[in-house]
Amino acid sequence: MRYISLPSVGVLWMLGTLLIPLMGCNDSAPPSSSSSDSSSEPPIALAIHGGAGTISPENMTDDQEAAYRTALSEALDAGYAVLNEGGSSLDAVEAAIVRMEDDSLFNAARGAVFTNEDRVELDASIMDGATRNAGALTGVTTVRNPIRLARTIMTESPHVMMAGAGAEAFADGFDLERVENSYFHTDRRLEAAQRARESATSSLRLSEDENQKLGTVGAVALDRDGNLAAGTSTGGMTNKQFGRVGDSPIIGAGTYAHNATCAVSSTGHGEYFMRGVVAHDIAARMQYGGQSLTDAANAVVHDMLPDMGGSGGVISLDAEGTVAMPFNTSGMYRASVDASGERVVRIYGNEEEAASTE
């Protein structure tokens, strides 16, 4: 018979004291990988604008300001809901812009300005940052939501831009709502056109009234797949003549999106945005100059544009969900939700508070 020596028992006892705590670790599960996965979930972000210009509290009643903040908030919510549910950046841009096109507060579709012939002519464009495909239209008079037509041109035709009757003939082949031009007419826009004609010193010069607000609507979005998109829609310039086309339907001027850099939608005096190729210039400064989105957007809006004599602003968004919304006028209707979820709705310059309307 073999006996266990005391030293062997001691060794077993020591091993037991080590093993018992280790076995007890099974009562507490190791850190879940799901928590780290949720923290690394791809970001989403959205920014919108409703025009820039001489916009100040002194020129706006409390009710008017509340109406604009509510409209911006609702458009932001419409686009962000798409992103939050896993939708594409293109869908989010379209949803946000349609909401503003249907609101007579903004110079796009339902609330668009009049030409010198007292009718409404609409421009719009959209761009996919993943493929750099784009669609645009100008001089459309009967399509209720031009941004939807712009997207249809992008996806269903080999072309980028269509104009006037040709664009509307193309729309006939798709499920796009058509309306009479009178649908877009509002009394305040007609009155503005009449004032513009009375105060303009020449047929090709901006009147003092029109220079007060340079209206357009736009949106830029980043979805969970990392794709950027941008879109812009406008009625153009009050009392415009000779088939004038602004920057809004021009890819690279009023609208641009590229996953490698940023998405941009512009608002302002379009002639200068076209001459400066503003939207693409911001992307180019990032891609070739190594600038951040914020630095690139600020340089274009606060340095390059004023040097040319141009006024207005942009909304822009990069692949990390950073938002930049610089403008060189006294105000710009704008709202955003960045990658961190911070939500702002603002109108005037130097607004520090996140003034959102629930």
Quote the pLDDT of residue 298.
Answer: 98
Q: How many domains does the chain have?
A: 2
Rounded CA separation 117/83 (Å) = 40
Tell whether residue 50 is among the known ligand binding residues.
Answer: no
Q: Within 13 A of 273's CA, how many CA atoms are on the CB side?
A: 32
In a domain, 75, yes or no: yes
Gyration radius of the chain's alpha carbons = 27
154 and 24, same structural domain? no
Tell whether residue 2 is among the known ligand binding residues.
Answer: no
56 and 21, same structural domain? no
Rounded CA separation 230/89 (Å) = 8
Catalytically active residues, by annotation = 216
Give residue-wise pLDDT tens across range 167-191.
999 999 999 999 999 999 999 998 8
Backbone CA torsion sign across 281, 298, 358, 45? positive
Domain limits at 149? Answer: 44-348
Q: Within 13 A of 304's CA, how many CA atoms are on the CB side?
A: 20
Tell whether residue 186 is among the known ligand binding residues.
Answer: no
Rounded CA separation 346/356 (Å) = 8
Out of 173-177, 210-214, 310-314, 323-327, least confident range = 210-214
66 and 20, same structural domain? no
Give residue-wise pLDDT tens across range 127-174.
999 999 999 999 999 999 999 999 999 999 999 999 999 999 999 999
132 and 32, same structural domain? no
Query: 355: which residues sit within 8 A by CB, 6+ positions away?
Result: 69, 344, 345, 346
Q: What is the mean pLDDT of residues 106-114?
A: 95
Under the banding of pLDDT at 50, 70 and 90, the label for residue 19 is very low
Give residue-wise pLDDT tens across range 43-92.
999 999 999 998 989 989 999 999 999 999 999 999 999 999 999 999 99
Tell whether residue 269 is among the known ligand binding residues.
Answer: yes
In a domain, 61, yes or no: yes
Contact predicate 221/92, CB 8 Å: yes
**pTM score, whole prediction:** 0.85
Q: Is residue 325's pLDDT more than 60? A: yes
**Count of residues making up the chain:** 358
In a domain, 236, yes or no: yes
234 and 339, same structural domain? yes
In a domain, 357, yes or no: no
